[in-house]
Structure 1
């Protein structure tokens, strides 16, 4: 009899917990994690300490310690931590339930209060979780809006995500594929309305001085007021979206590219000529990887209890139509941050904003030979490089192929061989 009674009590408690969890999902009042939500707190060893060090030396940026972390109020049912962990354990290794349920889960996990005084970019997107418009830019480039004019050329902005100390990478990019892209723009193949190397704040003043000197020479640095660290890449990308939304939102396309990626400009321009700038889609190469529980891309079961991520792109190379910038930024305002910017932006924010994720394998290839072979050059739009030397060799291999100094030999379906025509425009198809 006692056992049956205990069992009934247990069932009642579990039913109550489920009701609480569901009611949190239905709750429509704004909820927040503070300026950078639970992600920043969970990774404070990567964010708070270096940021405070830089604050003390330069007074450029406010301390994260001054950001108010709200406590739960009367709108929330407080769940005892042990009971919450029990509930969370029931989700472990289950299929990813969608962005709205992810958001509800993190809200239940943190139990925090709304961030007040922040204007909603899209009221229909729900609670404001992050202040995505507070960013400052110690070094900025000119607005590209004045260079967007009506002609037959597609307008393009290139955002190159770079680390503060990677001076040699930025130098070789200026000398290789970026120079080639600017030449093609001068010839009318595209209207390159702007480009920038996007960096955060370094952890010491000497590198900051070098960045300022670099910018005096090239005028192509966009510096975001946040400590530049791998686990802050999401914050960095959202800062880029905010700047784009203010100063370059009317552009047809944005190429967001990492500084260790080589761009085959001929194939890239072939791609954007076939894309529709008014379509609510983004373009890239899908990553098929489960959440990893160890190594560089580790995420805990507590932070991500599910067995899979949503479909997302490698963040190393993504094409964004300008019309997607505002909805992506609005989505970022309402979704808890993840430390992985590609999963956050192209997996979670796209879903929230109703933006299609359109995949092509050849848009980004993660590995090519030390000296890319002619057929890699012929068929690939962008590829990862492992060093400055690899990037430079990629440029010369590309140049040799298009100047017909090297050939790509292709095998036809009937078993015969043919030599690829370097001037041929390939058809890069995307999933629908």
Structure 2
């Protein structure tokens, strides 16, 4: 539409433009040329605006959820919140200005084309505009700041900030004497806003954490939301069971959350025999898990869980499991155990932590830790039928034969806990 309007406004100039073309082209050739030429301009216009829209949406998402980036923990939380907000607004403004600039350049190109004197002039104009498009594509990534996934392949150590906020947690309650007498440590990854999920677990199967042979805690990141941060501080002052890392808590940082879990266990509980990694929407049958451990107590260098083989990367951008070629270009993942729950022997925790930092980052934590990292370390991954990691019928006898059940709502935790302990329920 811009091209048509411009040509109508410059009717006299059009004749001067067409005259040299008529000498070199037939009418059919001119029609084909202008058809292709118009399509090129439209594609250029659509490309620039779609790219700017995508980048703007990503920066807006960043300001809400928080995405992978390194943070220097030198100032207090308030200063981090303020600086983060300022940086995000600055990035958005820069992208807006760059997008507006590109729009103006398209109008300029349209004017240049109507004033050009021949085919070579048109070729030069289009060539220059394509160069400008490439510059815009590269600069827009720089202006956008941290994105949902790393722009290029990055080692995890470049995205991970070591350390934890340990002031408010009871380390001795979670792992007494660095795990010397501990048979099992259960670490539960939790979203910061999932207070109901954490409370339902505390009041049900987390009661086994009061036994000297079992330790339990939640794993979280940090937030730029001041009110939520204050709420988490109060919750941890009461329960002392929330281990918080320095990474921004978001879906795309699940790998950083698991690395944070490994770092804490390696630092504060290096002698524990087994560690279960699980999520806050899981029901864990702790008695069944302890029986499972007893049968394998002498085993080492192994990860137990629901083993997946021949799983191919998902390239559909609309999927939550999307992994772009720039992060991993293989045609399938190595065998891995699915993330809702898997069991590690304690002797591999240090190796997993160190090697994870030296492995290229992807946001699928189970593929990353139990797939790529474990494969490089030659750690066994064994399938265990008791790890269901899926939603099943919640009948008491079904639950008693499973170690891990997925997608459990907070109110359902209480029902499953009651049925698990009800001695009047008999199962064959």
TM-score, reference length from structure 1: 0.61
Q: Classify 1:210/1:280 alpha carbon distance in 2 versus 1 (closer, same or farther; 3 Å).
A: same
- Aligned match of 2:277: 256
| Cα shift readout 1:394-418 (whole Å, capped 9, x = no counterpart) | 2223223xx1x3333xxxxxxxxxx
1:224 corresponds in structure 2 to 245
> Unaligned 5+ residue runs, structure 2?
1-57, 88-149
The match for 1:396 among 395, 418, 421 is 418
SS across alignment from 2:162: coil
Instruction: Choose 1 or 2 for highest CA Rg.
Output: 2
TM-fit CA distance, 1:44: 7.3
What is the aligned partner in structure 1 of residue 194 from structure 2? 166
| CA displacement at 1:376 relative to structure 2 | 1.1
Relative to structure 1, is the Cα distance of residues 46 and 239 closer, same or farther in structure 2, using a 3 angstrom cutoff?
A: farther
Q: How far off is 1:377 after superposition?
A: 1.9
Q: Is 1:147 the counterpart of 2:177 in the alignment?
A: yes
* Partner in structure 2 of residue 352 of structure 1: 376
Give the C-alpha shift of residue 314 in structure 1. 1.2
Q: State the 1:276 CA deviation.
A: 3.3
CA, structure 1 residues 158+373, in 2 after alignment: closer, same or farther (shift >3 Å)?
A: same
Please say if residues 141 and 196 of structure 1, whose CA atoms lie closer than 8 Å, have aligned partners that are also in contact: no
Match of 1:376 in 2: 398
SS in 2 for 1:299: coil
For 1:259-270, list aligned pairs within 5 A. 259-270=280-291
Find 1:235's aligned residue among 256, 263, 276: 256
SS of residue paired to 1:314: strand
Give the 5 Å matches for 1:15-414.
Answer: 51=66, 58-59=78-79, 110=152, 130=158, 134-137=162-165, 139=167, 141-144=169-172, 146-148=176-178, 155-179=183-207, 181-182=208-209, 185=211, 191-192=213-214, 194-276=215-297, 279-287=300-308, 289-292=311-314, 293=316, 294-369=318-393, 372-400=394-422, 403=423, 405-408=424-427
Contact 1:140/1:223 (8 A) holds in 2: no
Describe the shift of the 1:323–1:60 C-alpha distance in structure 2 as closer, same or farther (beyond 3 A): farther
Normalising by structure 2, what TM-score? 0.62
Alignment partners' CA distance in 1, 2:156 and 2:281: 34
Provide the rounded CA distance (Å) in 2 between the counterparts of 1:306 and 1:395: 43
Change (3 A) 1:49 1:278: same
Distance verdict in 2 for CA 1:215–1:57, change over 3 Å: closer
Residue by residue over 1:92-117, the C-alpha shift from the partner in whole angstroms, topping out at 9 and shown as x without a partner, is xxxxxxxxxxxxxxx9x9588xxxxx
Structure 1: any 5+ residue segments left out of the alignment?
A: 1-42, 66-106, 113-126, 409-419, 421-432
Once the two structures are TM-superposed, the CA of residue 237 in structure 1 deviates from its matched residue by 1.0
Partner of 1:118: none
Aligned partners of 1:148 and 1:155 also within 8 Å: no
Question: In the superposition, relative to structure 1, how do residues 241 and 45 fare at CA in structure 2: closer, same or farther (>3 Å)?
Answer: farther
Provide the C-alpha distance between the structure 1 equivalents of 2:379 and 2:59, rounded to a whole number of angstroms.
31
Aligned pair count reads 300
Residues 383, 50 of structure 1: CA spacing in aligned structure 2 closer, same or farther, 3 A cutoff?
closer
CA offset digits 1:207-260 (Å, max 9, x no partner): 111111111111111111111100111111111211211111111111111000
2:123 corresponding residue in structure 1:
none
Deviation at 1:383, TM superposition (A): 0.5
Distance 1:110-1:57 versus aligned 2 partners, 3 A rule: closer
Go from structure 1 to structure 2 and tell me whether the alpha carbon gap of 1:51 and 1:133 turns closer, same or farther (over 3 Å shift). Answer: closer
1:389 deviates by 1.9
- Residue pair 1:47, 1:227 contacting (<8 A) in 2 also: no
What CA distance in whole angstroms lies between the structure 1 residues aligned with 2:179 and 2:251? 37
- C-alpha spacing 1:139/1:256, structure 2 compared with 1 (3 Å): farther
Provide the alpha-carbon RMSD of the alignment.
Answer: 3.5
Question: 1-side partners of 2:337 and 2:390: how far apart?
Answer: 12
**Equivalent residue, structure 2, for 1:21:** none
CA distance in 2, matches of 1:238, 1:48: 23
Q: What are the Cα deviations for residues 328-362 of structure 1, in whole angstroms up to 9, with x where unaligned?
A: 01111211111111110110110112211111122
Q: Which position in structure 1 is the counterpart of 2:115?
A: none
Greater displacement, 55-64 / 164-173: 55-64
Q: Distance in 1 between matches of 2:180 and 2:265?
A: 19
Contact 1:312–1:357 at 8 Å: present in 2 too?
Answer: yes
